[in-house]
Chains A and B, each alone.
Chain A
Amino acid sequence: MAGVVLAAGTGSRMGADGNKAFIPLAGRTLVSWSLNTMADVREISRRILVIRRTDQSMAEAVIDREVRGGPVELVVGGPSRHASESAALKHLAPSIEDGDVDYILLHDAARPLMSVTLARKIVAAAETYGAAIPVLSAGEIAQVTENGELNRTKEQLRFVSAQTPQCFKATALLGAYLDAEKDGFEGTDTSACFADYADGAVQSIRGESQNIKVTYPQDLFLAEMLLHALHYSLDRRVEDD
């Protein structure tokens, strides 16, 4: 199984110098928290970090200084999440076709608090169902009309918010992305492309509320506090550096 951390395509919209994936959080970069967690997921035998070309030397330095558990392969991503996923899949394609990589766990570097427990739950579910993603109930979501009025529909729908890591059977995911490329389709996340182009459903598994996505600056304060409360251990104590 391969673990892929997506760290390209963030922080570039306004031309800022810094990539969100390399923000310091409690003494190490966002991306290294996820890579170290993947080191503790025993099903994962290869780790891939998808980066922007301009971040290559920084990524190499971060891996050398902060990441434990063997090599991390660097892949240059694209301008969108979909393009970065596609780059990672093409990098892995020979191993997928040879059967050396059977499942792929994809994770967004902007979620540094992924736990080993959650990753392993998603992997186990994907091995059963073919594809699995973590979700949380999005109970506060309401429909509104174009005028902004609440739409009091009687239809009962359950809304969830999707998280990462997301895990997929590798052959199906690679096939889905190759077919999507022929159609010029770009999904918002991995499961969107998989759902449209691969046979079989995507199973949702309960995610973790602590698995926050760093979007707003206040998310960094929250992530720092959560890490402190967890004694800086996402299931296993990580050596500080």
Chain B
Amino acid sequence: MTSPVIVTLRCGQCGRETPHELHYAGRLLALTECGVCGFTIRHSGSDMKSSYVADLGQRLATKPRRMLRRFARHPLRFASGLPASVLAKPRGIIDEWQTVFRRGR
């Protein structure tokens, strides 16, 4: 499961402004959960899977261009951060797959 983003939103069930956990799979929002009443909203399983696969494909296709742009902006920062990014990326993708495919079973 990916690390959640925690942010204050108004809960549709308890009606209060409460901390919510937001879980993402790549660029897509997969699940939100109210930290007080537990009210959860999920992106529907089959739609989420197809959306995620399409989004992942688009991210992979544009990755070289995005890396090139970051390199052009900050060559040193890009080079120094590259090893850590390369090592972390597979774990990140596995987490995303778990978020999308495990919960859909």
Contact = CB atoms under 8 A, between A and B. Distances in A.
Does A associate with B in a complex? Answer: yes
Contacts of A18: 5-8
Interface in A144-203: none
Interface in B1-47: 5-12, 17-20, 22, 24, 26-29, 32, 34, 41, 43
B8 A12 contact: yes
B73 interface: yes
B62 interface: yes
A26 B55 CA distance: 10
A172 to B, nearest CB: 33
If over half of B's interface residues share one DSSP class (helix, strand or loop), that class is named, otherwise mixed; here it is strand
B53 to A, nearest CB: 14
A33 to B, nearest CB: 13
Contacts, number: 75
A24 B8 contact: no
Contact of B29 (A216, A221, A239): A221
B62 to A, nearest CB: 6
Interface residues of A, number: 30
Interface string A57-93: 0000000110000000000000000000000000000
B66 A240 contact: yes
B17 A13 contact: yes
Contacts of A15: 19
Nearest to A14: B8
Interface string A10-40: 1111111111100111110000000000000
B10 A215 contact: yes
Given A14-B17, A24-B27, A224-B29, A240 B5 contact: no
B41 A23 contact: no
Nearest to B39: A217
A240 B8 contact: no
Contacts of B8: 10-14, 16, 18, 20
B22 A23 contact: yes
A17 B7 CA distance: 6
A214 B69 CA distance: 30
Contacts of B27: 24, 26-27
Contacts of A12: 8
Contact of A16 (B10, B19, B28): B19
Given A24-B29, A241-B66, 10 more contacts: A11-B8, A20-B8, A20-B9, A24-B27, A27-B26, A215-B9, A217-B12, A217-B22, A217-B32, A224-B28
Interface of B: 5-12, 17-20, 22, 24, 26-29, 32, 34, 41, 43, 51, 58, 62, 66, 69-70, 73-74
